[in-house]
Amino acid sequence: MILVRLSNRLRVSFVAVLATIVFAVFGSMSAAQTQSANVSGFWDLKTPTGDGNFRDAFFDLKQSGESVTGDAIFGPRHIPIADGTFRDGKIHFTVTMGRTPRTRVISYDGTLQDGKINMVSQAEGREPTHGVAEPSKPEAALPPPRLPIPALHEVPDNHLARTPPMGWNSWNKFAGKVSDEVVRGVADALVSSGMKDAGYVYINIDDTWEGPRDAQGNMTSNTKFPNMKALADYVHSKGLKIGIYSSPGPKTCAGYEGSYGHEVQDANTFAAWGFDYLKYDWCSAGGIYKDDDMRAVYQKMGDALLATKRPIVFSLCQYGHENVWTWGDKVGGNLWRTTGDISDNWQAMSRIGFSQFDIAGYAKPGHWNDPDMLEIGNGGMTGDEYRTHMSLWSMLAAPLIAGNDLRNMTEETKSILMNHEVIAIDQDPDGKPVKRISPADDTAMITVRPLRGGAYAIGLFNRGDQPQKINFTWAQLGIAQPGKIRDLWKHTDIPSTAPDGYAATVPTHGVMLLRVSAK
Ligand code: GLA
């Protein structure tokens, strides 16, 4: 018994000693491992977008002691990281996006575990997003090889958009939050609000509808859009038309799947789903093609759309590069963006709108300059500013693509978007160009546009910060014999004017829009 007890005791203490040794060895090994763990290398951070897709960001990191340096790689942009540390298995660094003064800092905080980094990224003022970074190779961040481009030719006219297209687009209001439900709701509202009767017919889905390609390389929609064909059928059942969005690059501007190398296949998919309009946005194509390849690249999709035999309006979006107004029609374009993106404020809207007069002569029935979509009703401008927006776009014969939440419009927004008399200027069947009479930098801007049947539209714009009197003579506008004069915002006829001209006081950032009938 004693022997047994002793040996038991011995056994117990032996086990304890062994355990201590094992713990000491392995414990110190794992401490050493953590210490020697190193985040140097090339990482691919996949962040779920919440609709079945992942967004990739790449990091090329170098660790020295506890300090981490390197680059963040977002598409073609390589941005040095700052404040990089790796301590106790935790990594931290920041990336500053954009250029001064409009910079945005994103902070990254992660934990290294089993060779992966669980990462939380957070841009200033935004919700944090979670993703997982895995070891990768620099090749993964490179754009695919450049595909050959076709020889130039003239794509035959599709005979669509004889007047500037009218409708709605999801981007300005909804951006990444567009969904099947939103699109159906907006289609319903377009009809019930009277917008359809006013001429708005296209319901256009912008970026972030895209899912991954299937095994055959066909585009699919993501979880926000369960069935594109059914959605198109629904929009058609309301007597409306429906539009979709893609890019000639591998990725869209929001980082979703683009049509690169699948142009014909995608045109066929869009036609099979029943789409009537395609906005084709340059985005990541800039990382593959040269700027002077643009015409050929857009021609490729122009040909592909025509070959589907479905009438599909072709909307070019490459921000006005390469004087697109001189060749947009030749690639089958019905409209082409002439500038960068609009936003919902006076500075952006007026900068874009008042920069368009010199190229107005390039627009014609079937082929229009597109100074971007409307912001009316989104809340960032005054009523006068939105009336200027609507009037200016109409004087320019620009597409009228509303960008607000049509399910929820104030009476003032409705009165601006559905001003039939202003819409009639935009939609004048002759599509003749507006002329600026005042010097380009004048705050009082007098513009005139000939309409069908010898009438004229006259826009008096006040870009200044005080109300001001704007006057003109008929001779100045080239109008020999003015007929009846109508105020298109007050919806009244102007009883009489001085025989040689007219004067009006126009509010700050406001407009007076007149229609002068033929005598
Ligand atoms: C670009 C376009 C916008 C919109 C976004 C979507 O910025 O100019 O109109 O389509 O892409 O990502």
Distance from Cα 402 to the centre of ligand 1, integer Å: 15
Contact 132/111 with Cβ under 8 angstroms? no
pLDDT tens digits, residue range 15-41?
444 444 444 444 444 444 444 689 999
- Round to whole Å and give the CA distance between 58 and 74: 7
Least confident of 37-41, 240-244, 311-315, 355-359: 37-41
Q: State pLDDT tens for residues 424-464.
A: 999 999 999 999 999 999 999 999 999 999 999 999 999 99
Concatenate the DSSP letters of all residues of 20-86 into one string.
HHHHHHHHHHHHHHHHH----EEEEEEEE-SSS-EEEEEEEEEEETTEEEEEEEETTEEEE-EEEEE
Residue 234 has pLDDT above 50, yes or no: yes
Residue 252 CB less than 6 A away from ligand 1: yes
Higher-pLDDT residue of 373 and 32 is 373
Query: Could you tell me if the CB of 207 is within 6 A of ligand 1?
Result: yes
| Predicted pLDDT of residue 36 | 61
Residue 396: pLDDT band with limits 50, 70, 90: very high
Q: Is the CB–ligand 1 distance for residue 280 below 6 Å?
A: no
Give the ligand 1 atom nearest the CA of 245: 10
Q: Please say if 83 is a catalytic residue.
A: no
Cβ(210) to ligand 1 under 6 A? no
Nearest CA to ligand 1 atom 11: 253
Report the range of poorest mean pLDDT among 20-29, 130-139, 389-398: 20-29
Average pLDDT on 106-110 reads: 98
Kindly give the distance from the C-alpha atom of residue 325 to the centroid of ligand 1, in angstroms, as a whole number.
19
Helices (H), 400-473: 411-417, 420-426
Prediction pTM value: 0.90
Candidate from 19-28, 113-122, 283-292, 508-517 with smallest mean pLDDT: 19-28
Atom of ligand 1 nearest to the CA of 340: 8
Between the CA of 383 and the centroid of ligand 1 the distance, in Å, is: 25
Q: What CA–CA distance (Å, rounded) separates 421 from 492?
A: 11
Q: Tally the residues of the chain.
A: 519
Between the CA of 210 and the centroid of ligand 1 the distance, in Å, is: 14
Q: Is the pLDDT of residue 10 over 90?
A: no
Instruction: Output Rg (C-alpha) for the chain, integer angstroms.
Output: 30
**Average pLDDT, rounded, for the chain:** 93
> Which listed residue (281, 329, 370, 405) is catalytic?
281
Question: Mutation test of ligand 1: which of 206, 319, 336 has the most ligand atoms closer than 8 Å to its C-beta?
Answer: 206
206 is a catalytic site residue: no
The residue among 54, 26, 429, 468 whose CA lies nearest residue 223 is 54
Distance 351 CA to ligand 1 centre (A): 18
**What letter would DSSP give residue 257?**
B
- Tell me if 440 sits within 8 A of 353, measured CB to CB: no
* 253 C-beta closer than 6 A to ligand 1: yes
Residue 308's region, left for phi above 0, alpha for psi from -120 to 50, else beta, is: alpha
Of the residues 109, 188, 293, 341, which is catalytic? 341
Residue 336 structure tokens = 């082409």
| Separation CA 357–CA 434 (nearest Å) | 7
